[in-house]
Amino acid sequence: MNIIVVGLSHKTAPVEVRERVAFSPNLIERPLRELVSLDDISEGVIVSTCNRVEIYATTHDIAGGTARIKRFLADHHRIPLESLEQYLYSYHSEAAIRHVFRVASSLDSMVVGEPQILGQIKTAYGYAAEYRTSGTILNRFLHKAFSVAKRVRTETRIASSAVSVAFAAVELARKILGDLSGKTVMLIGAGEMCELAAKHFLTSGARGLLVANRTFAKGERLAAEFGGEAIPFEELFQELHRADIVLSSTGAPHTIIAPRDVEAVVKRRKFKPMFFIDIAVPRDIDPRVNDLESAYLFTVDDLQEIVEANMAQRNQEASKGEEIVEQEIGQFHCWLSSLESTPTIVALRARFEEIRRAELEKTLCGWKDLSPEAEKRLEIMTLSIMNKLLHTPTAVLKRAGQGGRTDLYTDALRQLFDLQTSRQDDDELELELEEE
């Protein structure tokens, strides 16, 4: 069984493409079920954030599975595959393990060391577990990725300073508006990114905080946490003139702020500058807002300059994180490789047991005066002989799996003993291997 990754990120696709292939967390059940219904895709997890959309899956057929997932992404979002494929990357086997470990550890993030991505992958895995589209391999794989991320975070100083997309937004606001003291910030949305932005803006001297969220109670909780004011979402445009800085991060499938909305607000503010930061994907604010006088709009991609400066400071710590990832890849890959020998080991034991049982019964049938106690001893003796005979080949086969030489041994054993395997056998021994 192989692990494959297919996706795109801020490194390969602009926001205009990423927003078209984003999956809504509220509607994730159907695409997850469609994913694992593809031929030879047995497990699947969909990760969808503002900076990346990735699918983690298991398959016996690397090339075919990868092609089917690319087609799934294109068809699901109604994008011609030939126009989407240029933005997609794919990994399999050890490269896939390395990629996911790096993503979970925030080594592949726009801002290296930012903590949001780990929570986002955990949420994606939670959906897959809830809808039972992850199984033995992806369950163990992602739990391992979480533990690697924790190790990178605790054994390096990669997250020692407050650097994130939200912090980069604050830095950009400083560049545009100068001193933020006395400025009023409006957050549209009340998710994790908005919460982080609130912390950074207030720490940087912003005076007031307004929160507009579709679920008023959630917006009210966030506003209360920072001493701000919650605004009913339907009154957003009535209150927008109060904000010098507007940061929007909602899950809306389309823009919620149009040029005409901002034009009226800017006039009401007598053309006092307004700074808009749209970190939502799909975007919340119509890009034409940036064409209006006194309105300055930046998207998540515009944060790249700030991000790159911060990344330079973290390169040294990131290199330590890369070393940890490399150490952990080998351990997990050994476990995954050992699964390839699982069905052969189970089938070999079944064949020996079949022979032992048949020969024992034949012997007992011709030995009528044998006492029950002697019969029991004979049973134990034959079982002991079988186990001793199988011990060495079983150990060798497991070691071969960990060393990447499984095929040579399994093919030979299957031909020599005419072995057949089943999915049930796989599951039984996978559990044994996990217990080990």
Is 114 annotated to bind ligand? yes
Sheet with strand 43-48: strands edge to edge: 43-48, 52-59, 2-9, 89-92
Annotated binding-site residue? 109: yes
Please pick, among 45, 50, 187, 222, the residue that the annotation labels catalytic. Answer: 50
- Reduced to 3 states (helix: H, G, I; strand: E, B; else coil), residue 48 is strand
Cβ-contact 186, 237 below 8 angstroms: no
Residue 191 annotated as binding site: yes
116 is in an annotated binding site: yes
As to burial, measured by CB atoms within 10 angstroms (0-12 exposed, 13-18 middle, 19+ buried), residue 398 is buried
406 annotated ligand-binding residue = no
Buried b (16+ CB within 10 A) or exposed e, 98-131: bbbbbbbbbbbbbbbbbbbbbebbbebbebbeee
Q: Is 402 assigned to a binding site?
A: no
Burial class (CB in 10 A: 0-12, 13-18, 19+), 336: buried
113 is in an annotated binding site: no
The answer to whether 316 is a known ligand-binding residue is no
Question: Whole-angstrom Cα distance, residue 17 to residue 405?
Answer: 41
CA 188 to CA 180: how far, in whole Å? 19
| Distance separating alpha carbons of residues 351 and 345, to the nearest angstrom | 10
190 labeled part of a ligand binding site: yes
Residue 51, annotated as binding a ligand: yes
- Give CA–CA dist 10/15, Å, rounded: 7
In 3D, which of 191, 108, 192, 199 has the Cα closest to residue 162? Answer: 199
Which tokens in the block code for residue 143? 């739990």
Closest to 272 measured CA to CA, from 247, 294, 296: 294
Residue 365 annotated in active site = no
The conformational region for residue 112 under phi > 0 = left, psi -120 to 50 = alpha, else beta, is: beta
189 marked as part of a ligand binding site: yes
Strand ranges (E), 300-380 = none
Is 404 annotated as a binding-site member?
Answer: no
Sequence letter at residue 298:
F
Nearest by Cα to 185 from 199, 198, 172: 198
Q: Can you say which residues are annotated as belonging to the binding site for substrate? A: 49-52, 109, 114-116, 120
Catalytic residue set: 50
Q: Can you say which residues are annotated as belonging to the binding site for NADP(+)? A: 189-194
Q: Can you say which residues are annotated as belonging to the binding site? A: 49-52, 109, 114-116, 120, 189-194
